[in-house]
Amino acid sequence: MYSADTVESSSILKRFSHSKRFDFAVELMAAPSGSRLLDYGTGDGRMLSLMSSLLPDCEIWGFEPVRGMREELSERFSKEGIGERIRVVDDPDELAGKGFDRICCLEVLEHLPDPILLDALRRMRDLLAPGARLVVSVPLETGLSSIVKTVVRTLQRQRHPDTNVGNIARSVFGRPIDRSSDGTYHLGHVGFSFRDLEKRFAEAGFSIEKRFFSPVPFLGSSLNSQVFYILSVR
């Protein structure tokens, strides 16, 4: 299950990193009573579960198109008894016109090739209510962070596709690589650049209101695991 590789990982570093990621995400999604919230690409449903517990007076939605993830999500909801309080859809058209006050998209965009990425960002832009915001987190896969992550994955025998000396060297300096893809989905994280993603934000009509790094913000992009963005529609 997804949680076994993140908040329940055997790696202390990964558990700490992903736990802080969810802490930051819930804090950024906090909204007044009655607000409508959406987790876009909700995975196994952990974020939905946290929002249901910590933001009980908000209307909570999830979008998850991957069948395997929806099965994990359903299992979580069944155990926690929260399924009736959360609406989850697998067709983005079912979200049209809802006017969400907050949308989060966590650890999703790094997997999307450019045309699909832009389409997803524009969909989220159109789903936001006037004055609302989008919260995004993606992994750091450049600089020293790329080396640390490669070492941890290798020790855990969880090496991502495209992991080789040449690609890691390019990632350290933020140089592009030819990332493995099935045409609709990048299979791993190696070679992902958050700086390239920032260009896509602008193309999709977003402004970056705030950017910070996680789990230890003062370390910047050098030795962190993720980068968070708060985005508004231009």
Which among 197, 201, 161 is positioned nearest to 181, based on CA atoms? Answer: 161
* pLDDT of 6 strictly over 80: no
* pLDDT of 187 strictly over 90: no
Reported as a pLDDT band with limits 50, 70 and 90, residue 1 is low
For residue 103, tell me if it sits in a domain: yes
Domain with 42, as residue range(s), is: 2-140+191-233
Query: For a pLDDT cut of 70, what percent of the chain falls above it?
Result: 97
Tell me the C-alpha distance between 87 and 77, whole Å.
11
For residue 62, tell me if it sits in a domain: yes
Tell me which amino acid residue 121 is: L
Q: pTM of the predicted model, to two decimals?
A: 0.92
Residues in the chain: 234
Q: What is the predicted pLDDT for the residue at 101?
A: 98
For residue 179, tell me if it sits in a domain: no
Handedness of CA 24, 40, 226, 218 (dihedral sign): negative
Reported as a pLDDT band with limits 50, 70 and 90, residue 182 is confident
DSSP string, 135-158: EEEEE--STHHHHHHHHHHHHTT-
For residue 69, tell me if it sits in a domain: yes
For residue 161, tell me if it sits in a domain: no
Tell me the C-alpha distance between 76 and 70, whole Å.
10
Tell me the C-alpha distance between 161 and 212, whole Å.
27
Handedness of CA 65, 51, 130, 137 (dihedral sign): negative
Tell me the C-alpha distance between 71 and 114, whole Å.
27
CATH number at residue 126: 3.40.50.150
For residue 35, tell me if it sits in a domain: yes
Residues 29-78: tens digit of each pLDDT: 999 999 999 999 999 999 999 999 999 999 999 999 999 999 999 999 99
For residue 210, tell me if it sits in a domain: yes
With 0-12 CB in 10 A as exposed, 13-18 as middle and 19+ as buried, what is 166? exposed
Reported as a pLDDT band with limits 50, 70 and 90, residue 153 is confident
Domain count across the chain: 1
Q: What is the predicted pLDDT for the residue at 8?
A: 63
For residue 186, tell me if it sits in a domain: no
Reported as a pLDDT band with limits 50, 70 and 90, residue 3 is confident
Reported as a pLDDT band with limits 50, 70 and 90, residue 4 is low
Tell me which amino acid residue 184 is: T
Q: What is the predicted pLDDT for the residue at 230?
A: 98
